[in-house]
Amino acid sequence: MTRSISIFGATGSIGDSTLDLLRSDRDAWDVAALSANCSAEKLATLAREFGAKLAVVGDESCLPELRQHLDGSGIEATGGKQALCDAAAMPVDISVAAIVGCAGLGPTMAAIEQGHTVALANKEALVSAGEVMTAKVAEHGTTLLPVDSEHNAIFQCLEGNDLADVRWITLTASGGPLRTKSLAELEAVTPEQAVAHPNWDMGAKISVDSATMFNKGLEFIEAYHLFPIGLDALRIIVHPQSVIHSMVEYRDGSTLAQLGPSDMRVPIASALAYPARMDTDLKPLDLANIGELTFFAPDEERFPATKLAREAAHAGGAAPAVLNAANEVAVAAFLDGQIRFTQISAIVARTLDNYAPPAPASLDDVLAVDAEARACAAEMMEPA
């Protein structure tokens, strides 16, 4: 049976992995829409390859180039924020929400409101707008499938079980490329060192988030919204091998863990095929070759990001949105060489201390908080 799909963020790492899976069973998928921020030539190439009905660029200035590359294809091309939301509102069997940052909030909400299935890879949807988004999911009866490897692992470990029987949910963290460095060494870390993740091939921003442990803090907040068992039943453990992607402990003492290779095609395949399974060409785990799996408690003195995220989650309201926005600003400044690595967490902490708006009641409120928090974070900058 052919299923319809739209992919928002088609030219990014999640989009690449998703389209790679679609290639393995091309006749099973009808591609409705593909989007990118710009990357007009790559987007056009993908739209032609998959016979997409619509290609959308978030940056409207890239639309003329997109139309040029699609000339004669019969594929419609549109651009701008509203065009993304309009595309996401098109009814399809499954929408993959993989636009990075708050730019993905509007399209993700539009996809949720069409009431089918959303494979969620946009962290900001639940970190910045958790209550708003989950309320819409409930209102429209949408099936929300997590694509982050950790949340997808938890989802799989919970399948067929009752949340009331859960004692703990444990998110695993690789610890990133800087896990063994001292505080003094972290002061001198370069962007090149921070993005050199030992296990995962990811974009620059999420790679830095892994190095600071902010990715795990953001995932902690996401897990709170996806799996409502209470903040005190969520915990984080460092697992450098990235073989166990997360674990669920039940009240009878049983712990279920999901294991797999460090490849995003595993959780994406889980979401695309749900509730069934699909074939992939991934090499099976060789546990004998891996040899050992190790675990450590997070060091929140060297990496305070998880502590900041936990505090923001407990504070609730707008605090997670402020944390997310401040982190995005600080990471961009670090990648541009404006601040030191250790200043990322410091800027986030100062922003949370200096900006405490009311809880957002709508997506517009979330976006307003995000904009103001970014401005506040920019004021907290000190030279590197």
Model confidence pLDDT, tens digit, residues 189-208: 999 999 987 666 667 888 89
Residues 262 and 303 in one domain: yes
**Domain assignment present for 263:** yes
Rounded mean pLDDT, 215-238: 96
Non-local (6+) Cβ contacts of 180 within 8 A are none
Torsion 310-316-319-321 (CA) sign:
positive
CA dihedral 141, 145, 146, 147 (to 10 degrees): -140
In a domain, 129, yes or no: yes
CATH classification at residue 53: 3.40.50.720
Give domain status of residue 323, yes or no: no
Are 137 and 158 within one domain? no
> Is 333 a residue whose pLDDT tops 80?
yes
150 is in an annotated binding site: yes
The angle at the Cα of 303, spanning 213 to 244, to the nearest 5 degrees, equals 40
Out of 94, 126, 146, a domain closes at 146
Tell me if 378 is assigned to some domain. Answer: no
Q: Does the annotation flag 123 for ligand binding?
A: yes
* 215 marked as part of a ligand binding site: yes
Query: Has 148 been labeled as part of a binding site?
Result: yes
Q: pLDDT at residue 384 above 60?
A: no
pLDDT of residue 45: 98
Is 199 annotated as ligand-binding? no
Return the pLDDT at 124.
Answer: 85
CA atoms of 159 and 213, how far apart (whole Å): 28
In this structure, what token pair is assigned to residue 214?
A: 């902010």
Give the pLDDT confidence of 97-149 residue by residue, as tens digits.
Answer: 999 888 899 999 999 999 999 999 998 899 999 999 999 999 999 999 999 99
In a domain, 22, yes or no: yes
Q: Does 210 belong to an annotated binding site?
A: yes
- Judgement on whether residues 311 and 165 belong to the same structural domain of the protein: yes
End-to-end CA gap in the chain? 56
Question: Does the residue 359 lie in any domain?
Answer: no
203 annotated binding-site participant: yes
Query: Around Cβ 164, how many Cβ atoms within 10 Å?
Result: 7
Q: Is residue 330 part of a domain?
A: no
State whether 155 and 137 are in the same domain.
no
Same domain, 137 and 171: no
* Residues 140 and 163 placed together within one structural domain of the fold: no
On the question of pLDDT at 335 being above 80, the answer is yes
357 inside domain: no
- Measured distance CA(276)–CA(243) in Å, rounded: 22
State how far the Cα of 56 lies from the Cα of 60, in Å rounded to an integer.
9
Question: Which of residues 107, 123, 146 is at a domain's end?
Answer: 146
166 & 75 share domain: no
Whether residue 297 sits in one domain with residue 220: yes
The structure's pTM equals 0.93
Is 216 annotated to bind a ligand? Reply is: yes
Is 11 annotated in a binding site? The answer is yes
Q: Is 171 exposed, middle or buried (0-12, 13-18, 19+ CB in 10 A)?
A: buried
Amino acid identity of residue 309, one-letter, is A
- Which of 146, 177, 199 is the endpoint of a domain? 146
Residue 12 assigned to a binding site? yes
Say if residue 107 is in the same domain as residue 192.
no
Q: Which domain holds residue 35?
A: 3-146
Contact between residue 171 and residue 219 where contact means Cβ atoms under 8 Å apart = yes
What is the percent of the chain with per-residue pLDDT over 70, rounded to a whole number?
Answer: 98
Residues 14 and 157 occupy one common structural domain: no
Residue 383 has a pLDDT of 59
Overall number of domains in the chain: 2
Please tell me whether 174 is known to bind a ligand.
yes
Q: Where are the beta strands (DSSP E) in the chain?
A: 3-8, 29-36, 54-57, 76-79, 94-97, 117-120, 143-146, 166-173, 234-238, 244-250, 255-259
Is residue 138 domain-shared with residue 175, that is, in the same domain? no
Note whether 59 and 175 are same-domain residues. no
pLDDT at 171 over 90: yes
Distance separating alpha carbons of residues 116 and 232, to the nearest angstrom: 32
What whole-number distance in Å separates Cα of residue 104 and Cα of residue 336?
Answer: 23
